[in-house]
Every structure is written in C-alpha cells, then in structure tokens.
Amino acid sequence: MKVAVIGAGSWGTALSQVAAVNGHSVVLWARRGEVARRLNESHRNPDYLSDVVISERVRATNDMADALDGAEAVLVVTPSKFMRSTAEAMRESGCSENVPVVICTKGVEAGTGMVPVQVFGDVLGSPDRLAALSGPNHAEEIVLGTYAATVVASSDEKTALFFQELLGSESFRVYTSGDVLGVELCAAFKNVIAIAVGISYGLGLGDNTAATLMTRGQAEMGRLVAAAGGDPMTCMGLSGTGDLIATCMSRHSRNRMFGEAVAKGVTVEQYEARRHMVAEGAQACRTIETLSNRLGVELPITDAVRSIVWEGADPEQAAHALVMRDLKPEFY
C-alpha cells in the first residue's frame, strides 16, 4: 500500500525504511525541498542517517498534498512543538477522514497538556483511526534492521492491529496496547529523565546516581500516568521501562547528550544549532508542568530539570536540593 511519512528527520527516515522493507510504497514528506531532491537523487538523507542507503521504494517530496494523495496509512514523525500545526497542514492538504494515522511524535502540548493523539484528534477528528507508536527505538539502529520492539496504542483495537501488521517484521516486533494516554505520557516523560541522567553524568556522578534517577523518575512517571487515567502497568512496558533504559543509557540518545551539555552550561538553542536535532525532553519538562499542576502530582526530578534548563538554576545546587528532600516510603 501507499504509506505517507510526515517528517524526514532521523526517526521518519528510519520508519520509511521499515515500511519500504515490508514491501510498501513510501512517500516521505520533508519540510525543505532541497532535502527531498537529494533524497530522490542519492537515496540518502543529507541531514540524518546519511551513511544509510534508503530503499528505492521511498520517494521524497516537500508537497504535503502529494504525500497524502492516495495514502492508505500515515505516519507522523515531526517534533512535538509542531504537532498541532502539522495536524492542521494535513487537514488543509486533504488528509482523508478514514485513513489510519499513527503518531510517532513524543511530547505534551504547551498550554493544553494534550498528548499527540489528543491534538490530532482535536484537529482531524475520527479518533478511532488514530494510534501512537513508542518504544526503545533509536533510529540509528532501526534503519539498519537491528532487532528491536515497539508498542502501538489505539482506542480502537483494529487500528492498533493495522499498524502492527504494517510495520511489524522479524527485526521490528510490534506489540499492541489500548492505553493510548499511558503510552504517550511515558513517551514524553522518559526524555525528561534522560536529561536528568545526562546532567548527572555531566557533573561527574556515577552509575548509582543514574540508576537512582531512572528508578525514581519511573515512580514520577507512574504517578502522573495513574493520575491522568492511564494504566500504571504501561510504565513497566516498552514505552516506559524499555524506552527509559534506551534513552537514559544509549550513546545515541540526544536527550542524555543534551543533559551532559547542559551540565557544562550549554543552552537549548546552542545544542539544537550544533546538533541540528531537537531534544524533546527540553520541551516536555515545561509542558508536563501543565498536567502536574492540574492533577496535583508531585514531580521533583522533572521540576529540577525544568529549573536547570529553562530557569538558569545551578545544576549542582538543584541536585543538592533533590537529595535533601524529606525521606519517604519507596511507594506512596
């Protein structure tokens, strides 16, 4: 079938390859015409994963209407801060009301506290045809066919099963879930914890500190998911524990690398200019605050990351404030 992939970053490029290897015809939408032209000429993305030859089943375009025309499935892989504008552009470009759409963006919308599936449902309607994909999936490995797994969550089981069949393969195991909210909150939250782990390593702290931040970060994740109405067990799955481990510990993790840079005084703008990539956790530590305030959930690690990244707090002082908090039972 024809599959439209909206977003030609590293993850969009990798998922295009996954769909193409599975035998589908893929149209990859790139924001810049130059990227689309070079992809079509060389079958390489000039900006991301440029060492990898992309399947000839992938055609690139910077015309969204062209990408969506006749598409039988859509994968959205744009940065979270653009999710509403992307949904609006898809609607204006003639995205069918019936075509299944899986959102691979990870984040929470500023101001509203909506997760991506909620944003796309708000703009495009027909929420039952929407799904979310998340898991321990670094694009650098997925594009090469290295063994990995992910989860597709949808309120409609048929939609989840549709994308399971579309993307699943021997090297890319796709599981299904009905807990869309839980999967999406885990997807956003783990990036924040990865920044915290990166900051700790940037400060010269060790693996014990990193493990503590990951474990207590997962406790924060569970509290937020439960309060929002998701299933806390989701936090133990691929979008929770799985993605948390990969994002906090991998050499590919832009959020961990960003945290290490922040510990040395690098700003969000400087990092994104140097790496040409967005550290999603930088946005998430701000946007999650909307939800935590609304739901009355305590998120001390998230608050510390936000204070360092956006409010100029000293990383060592923020770390000291965390360890001086009152002691509590582990599970409360």
List active site positions: 190
Please say whether the beta carbons of 28 and 59 come within 8 A: yes
- The C-alpha atoms of residue 198 and residue 196 are separated, in whole angstroms, by 5
- The C-alpha atoms of residue 267 and residue 273 are separated, in whole angstroms, by 10
- The C-alpha atoms of residue 201 and residue 80 are separated, in whole angstroms, by 26
Of the candidates 252, 259, 258, the residue with the CA atom closest to the CA atom of residue 274: 258
Reading across the β-sheet that carries 130-134, which strands appear in turn? 58-61, 25-29, 2-6, 73-76, 101-103, 130-134, 148-153, 172-177
What are the start-end ranges of the H helices in 4-107? 10-21, 33-42, 64-68, 83-92
Amino acid identity at 227? A
Q: Write out the two tokens for 122.
A: 């708000």
